[in-house]
Structure 1
């Protein structure tokens, strides 16, 4: 009997021990061992637990692990918030439902003081030793660089996806990712990886081009605490040869000499083989050149038909323009000789031919230069008490005009307007009618010579024929004009001796035979218009 009693007592003791052991094993907390965070960012500490089926959990608190016995600094408490440690106070919050076995903690703004600290939860006020499971906080002030990858073949014309990713601890306020130095719309995805880590991924997709080769693409991450980090990735795009050019080792190559040609191109990888072709092409860029460029009337000149083609130009046709059409000339070489050039406007075009085709040049006007020639339509008239003198000259290059009134009052003002139409310059002098003004001289000059015309004013609306003077005649007219003017000045002085005293010397008379011309503007034909003042 004694032996049976002892056996029963032993069995009961084993049951009690097993019950205590099983009850203790049902309390279990799951935490990551370490968590990383950036200052200024939030930190989510994932926490879950299991409990005995006989116990219903109601609350959870968090504590700062301390090696000092009997000291349990609070990190979070819903019942005693004032007792929470200062650097955690107001920064912690419980996430999830404790009754469902969740004890996750949110730290809203991590500081450098949190670095290296270990924390742990405590469920209700049970006797289980929760401080055996802690999580250590690793806090940094510097952001890690984002990781960049490329998917797809970097070949011109193919689609390419560039990805940029970063890990973080704050899903409520995640960092931002942005691509630099490349267009394209970015897509962003966030994924929870577990143990308090989240992955933020941003991607851009584009079609690779040759211009993308060697171009850096940057990705920048910005955290809520203001930390920034950037990673650059250089694109290496393969593309076929382009910008193919041929260069020669010398210019101005003469017929019969050697020349070395080099074929160059832009390609990645570099071109490995080349093929040369003898290309044939019809004439292009056909034009006419003149030599000499500025011949005078009566001289000779030559026109040359120029162009490019392969094989070289072998035949030429010359045409002289006449009205709306043209006349084909007998010349069939590239040179057309012109002799005894005249003032007449003559224009030509040429046709260049090789075995591949033909091409014509623009119409070219032969440039011929000559001294001014005053035309017969030059005249003077008086209408409505206004004198109007018109001097018309043909010259190339354009002439400059000088007007000289032979008899006029002092301080008299004249208007001059000149207009150029092709090679014809028309200069018009207008002034109020004066009894003393009877003649004007029109002098036209260019670099090849000059022409002089004296125009007389006899009465209202009367056209006076003009005469042209040159060489010795011009000198005689000037001398005659000077004598007449001197005589008139002497006569005027005598006539007004009693009312006004004027004392002119011979030198003064010579000076006052010139005009002071002040140009005020330029008309649409490019010839100055202005006013003439007699002094």
Structure 2
């Protein structure tokens, strides 16, 4: 009898010890804090792991709730159990069966700050009870942005006349399902290249690269990049162009050309005059010679 009691107590102890170990295998990874632009949307990265092997999405139910009260749900399949202020504004991105519990909140309002936590339910099989796992130690808190972040412009300091000049406009955001749209105050679609990528957890960036040929008329003019966010809010950044003109040596070349031209003309004139004088002298010498010959013939006579 004592032996049976000891075995029962030992079994209970093992159950108590092993229970938290099993629950610890259910783990969630949620970003701790994230900025959210009011009127736009925000995507909260979330993933989880479990010891149950491959579970289909149909057997899992994801829940997002306010950290202080599990019954205050901001997302659930049954929207009637969701807080009215969040109803129709939240959804899961990805599939729970793949361990993806990413949450999207649209039409962000200034009171959507959280913290919000993830909870999962495992649908019961015949003869079992509903299993629930809450991850209240891994919650996200949102920092509300009343104004959109401004884009940043990167470029070389000086543009050179007649050469291509590139300016990159970059803006960071937390709404990858509705990327901000970047537009320029000048340029054509052929001269614009866009790129989108994930910067780090919860933060994405959009880049627009404008390339154009800088002209003299562009010097001291303004170039503006405008970012339009989901919800209609905009922000802009302005660049004042500094175009370096091509070197102009006309102030040196023209006087030199005039001086050289004058010297050449004067030299030609001198040569012509000298030639003319030489010809005249030769003629005079010929006349003097012929006259002397005449006098010589007369003296002989």
Could you tell me whether the CA contact under 8 Å between 1:182 and 1:217 is conserved in 2? Answer: no
Could you tell me whether the CA contact under 8 Å between 2:157 and 2:242 is conserved in 1? Answer: no
Q: 2:116 aligns with which of 116, 119, 133?
A: 119
- Describe the SS at the equivalent of 2:191: coil
In the TM superposition, residue 18 of structure 1 has moved relative to its aligned partner by 5.0
- Describe the SS at the equivalent of 1:219: strand
Match of residue 45 from structure 2: 46
Deviation string, structure 1 residues 249-271 (Cα, Å, up to 9, x no partner): xxxxxxxxxxxxxx7xxxxxxxx
Q: Give aligned pairs, total.
A: 256
In the TM superposition, residue 103 of structure 1 has moved relative to its aligned partner by 1.2
In the TM superposition, residue 151 of structure 1 has moved relative to its aligned partner by 5.2
Matches within 5 A, 1:316-465: none
Match of residue 220 from structure 1: 226
Higher strand fraction (1 or 2): 1
Match of residue 137 from structure 1: 142
Q: Which sections of structure 1, spanning at least 5 residues, go unmatched?
A: 246-262, 264-273, 283-309, 315-352, 356-535
Output the CA distance in 2 between the equivalents of 1:12 and 1:23: 16
In the TM superposition, residue 181 of structure 1 has moved relative to its aligned partner by 4.1
In the TM superposition, residue 117 of structure 1 has moved relative to its aligned partner by 1.9
- Describe the SS at the equivalent of 1:242: coil
Taking structure 1 as reference, are residues 131 and 150 closer, same or farther at Cα in structure 2, changes over 3 Å only? same
TM-score by length of 2: 0.71
Name the stretch that deviates more: 11-20 or 127-136. Answer: 11-20
- Higher gyration radius (CA): 1
Output the CA distance in 2 between the equivalents of 1:275 and 1:20: 96
Output the CA distance in 1 between the equivalents of 2:195 and 2:54: 41
Output the CA distance in 1 between the equivalents of 2:66 and 2:249: 69
- Describe the SS at the equivalent of 2:166: strand
Output the CA distance in 1 between the equivalents of 2:231 and 2:201: 22
Output the CA distance in 2 between the equivalents of 1:18 and 1:279: 104
In the TM superposition, residue 92 of structure 1 has moved relative to its aligned partner by 1.1
Output the CA distance in 2 between the equivalents of 1:127 and 1:226: 40
Match of residue 86 from structure 2: 88
Could you tell me whether the CA contact under 8 Å between 1:152 and 1:161 is conserved in 2? Answer: no
Output the CA distance in 2 between the equivalents of 1:21 and 1:143: 44
Could you tell me whether the CA contact under 8 Å between 2:62 and 2:119 is conserved in 1? Answer: yes
TM-score by length of 1: 0.42
In the TM superposition, residue 47 of structure 1 has moved relative to its aligned partner by 1.3
Taking structure 1 as reference, are residues 78 and 9 closer, same or farther at Cα in structure 2, changes over 3 Å only? closer
In the TM superposition, residue 179 of structure 1 has moved relative to its aligned partner by 1.2
Query: 1 or 2 for the larger relative contact order (CA 8 Å, sep ≥6)?
Result: 2
Q: 2:96 aligns with which of 98, 101, 106?
A: 98
Cα RMSD of the aligned pairs, angstroms, is 3.6
Q: Which sections of structure 2, spanning at least 5 residues, go unmatched?
A: 122-129, 271-301
In the TM superposition, residue 312 of structure 1 has moved relative to its aligned partner by 11
In the TM superposition, residue 82 of structure 1 has moved relative to its aligned partner by 1.4
Output the CA distance in 1 between the equivalents of 2:85 and 2:51: 34
Higher helix fraction (1 or 2): 2
Output the CA distance in 2 between the equivalents of 1:230 and 1:100: 39
Match of residue 35 from structure 1: 34
